[in-house]
Amino acid sequence: MGNLLRKIDWILIVASLALMGFGLMLVYSATYNYAQTGQSWHMQRQTVFMAVSIILAVVSLAFDYRGSRQYIIYLYVFNVVLLLTVMFFGHSQLGAQRWLQIGSLSFQPSEFSKLIMVICLAAFMERRIEWLEDFADYARVFVFLFVPFVLVLKQPDLGTSLSFVAILLGMAFISGFKYKWLVRLGIGFAAIAPLLWNFVLKDYQKLRIKVFLNPELDPFGSGYHVIQSKIAIGSGGLFGKGWLAGTQSQLNFLPENHTDFVFAVAGEEFGFVGVCIILLLYMAVIWRGVVIAMNADDDFGMLLATGVTSMFMFHILVNIGMTIGIMPVTGVPLPFLSYGVSSLMTNIMGVALLLNVSLRTSELKF
């Protein structure tokens, strides 16, 4: 037991728990007006599922991550079936069909799909890592990801589908994917970009890209979110206005303030100093993820840790980027801070995967 406690990555645990604490504070603050009328169920629901997820995460540490390799076919098929179920039986919200309803509980399968694909891709690539030497070899890996990618894109959920690409690229680079091939991919993407623009992207997605380049193009529509977000962050100053005292959030000028734009609430209420603390906590999570990946005893563990870390990095960069106006608005939640039980459970189980790999590493350095 003592040896186990010494091998636990306490930095990763403390940083993750601290971010969850910030998340509960921000969700409560963002829904404070609801709480005043006795409807504080956002934070209550988030807290309940956080506790359940932590218990599941602790239990999962008793099982060796390497045992999941033998179930990848079942996991992959289950993932595809779940996404197909959303397509035919899911319910719509905010113009997208992404949720399944079971009684009073609704959840977003595409969130869980990210972690399932991390496991499936890690096992798929581990068996082939010895001969992943040419671009054509990686084409099989891309095909393996293609079906869930398209099913999520059809919901439509551009942010989550792009997170699949970020996960794959991170795992591909650590397995030897060369930079020159990324250039080829970039050229290929540029070649098909007109087709994507005309036949794949929805009108609202096109508008988001246009508004990203010029928010004033639609200041009371698609550009409103970004404009209000930057006002909220800027008004926080050095130390912020104080918890529950953010005017942009409390007076409902800031849309989606408890989900996609929760970082703007942090900037307004905690200021530059508070935001820096949050960013340092995120840096600690990413740092530990990289260390765990580099020290893993086997390729499967290395790929697993890389996939989870890539997922976190993508979500952090895209979400914070869109709140400050340097990335398009894609509806990507901020790990541990944004309200959403599906996202929260996925992130906690992602940390559990990192801990599982680190516990079974013979010697963890740095």
The per-residue pLDDT for range 176-224, each reduced to its tens digit, is 766 666 777 777 777 777 777 776 777 776 777 777 777 776 676 667 7
Summarize pLDDT for 68-118 with one digit per residue, the tens.
888 888 999 998 998 888 888 766 666 666 777 776 777 888 889 999 999
Would you state the pLDDT for residue 129? 64
Q: Pick the residue with more confidence: 361 or 122?
A: 122
Q: Is residue 54 over pLDDT 90?
A: yes
The neighbouring-strand residues paired with 287 are none
Would you state the pLDDT for residue 98? 74
Would you state the pLDDT for residue 52? 94
Q: How far apart are CA 74 and CA 298, in angstroms?
A: 22
| H helix intervals, 156-221 | 158-174, 179-195, 203-213
- Answer yes or no: are the C-beta atoms of 216 and 244 closer than 8 Å: no
Query: How much is the mean pLDDT over the chain?
Result: 83
* Rg of the chain on CA atoms, in Å: 20
Q: Tokens representing 356?
A: 């599982």
User: What pTM was estimated for this model as a whole?
Assistant: 0.89
Q: By percentage, how much of the chain surpasses pLDDT 90?
A: 34
- Answer yes or no: are the C-beta atoms of 205 and 158 closer than 8 Å: yes
Q: How far apart are CA 59 and CA 53, in angstroms?
A: 10
Q: How far apart are CA 261 and CA 250, in angstroms?
A: 13
Would you state the pLDDT for residue 159? 83
Would you state the pLDDT for residue 94? 60
Reference 71, options 113, 117, 115, 120; nearest CA is 120
Would you state the pLDDT for residue 228? 86
- Answer yes or no: are the C-beta atoms of 119 and 72 closer than 8 Å: yes
Task: Find the helix packing angle between 158-174 and 299-323, rounded to 10°.
Answer: 140
Query: Considering only 33-37, 149-153, 172-176, 184-188, which range has the smallest mean pLDDT?
Result: 33-37
Q: How far apart are CA 35 and CA 242, in angstroms?
A: 18
